[in-house]
Structure 1
Amino acid sequence: MSNDEAIPPVKKLRQKLDEFAARVPIWSLTLFTVDGYIIAHRAASERIPDGIEMAISSMSAGLITISEDFIRMIDASKTFRSVLVDSVDEAGVLNFSILLGTVADNVLLSCVFPRTTQLGLITFELETLGNEIRETIREWDVKLHSETMT
């Protein structure tokens, strides 16, 4: 049995977030289910207040609902994948962004990153991380949405 097989899935997912934060200049990552259950969180900057993962997961539900409604208005056969929220300072200069996206059935990932980090890098790296998360969830052999409660 390899070391990975002995690691509980949540610990393994947290390790993946830690590895991502060590490699990519971000402020935070939060992995959570659509019903608000926090699976793993990694704050990588002192700018991120304690407990923000709960706020991110709860506010994301409304943002996803709005996004899904907009998508259905244009093409009802399409589904939500991701949404980008930008913040600016008083002069209108981009300060930080939040990228929220689906990584697996009923599992979402939010990433808060500074303007100095290129969106293309974030998108590419999050896609790779999403693939790793999906694989871990498959190994877990559990449908998170049906097995978690808030």
Structure 2
Amino acid sequence: MPIGEICNRDVVIVRRKDSILDAAKLMRDYHVRGLVVVEDRDGEVAPVGILTDRDLVVELIAREVPLDSVVVEDVMSPDLFAVSENRGIWDTIQYMRGRGIRRVVVVNEKGSLVGILAMEDLLELLSDELSDLAKLFARERDREKETLG
């Protein structure tokens, strides 16, 4: 299954020059732990970084930086980990594990933003699939009881 089929397409975005306070308010209002930093390229929205709640805590709050003097690009991670929307689930999991990251940005063939995929999304999907497998054993047992009688 391509990752583009399961990624969250309702991505909360910010621009490089947005204030860090506005970014934090977006995280609060939308109940998200990260924002994708974007810029416009040839009429497309292209991801250029990511800003996480951890970035705010570690880089700003813990250092007692005055928040009204900071913009998103001052704190965002420019090392963007992105995968193609056509990439498979297992390959994406390996990619995330190999880089020690909890979320990846999903892009199309032009590099435009498609969605975001977090570790929590994968855990939810996999737990649902494992639950369905467990139910298969119970149905098989019930079917055997019916036929053996």
**Larger Rg over CA atoms:** 2
Q: What TM-score do the two structures reach when normalised by structure 1? A: 0.29
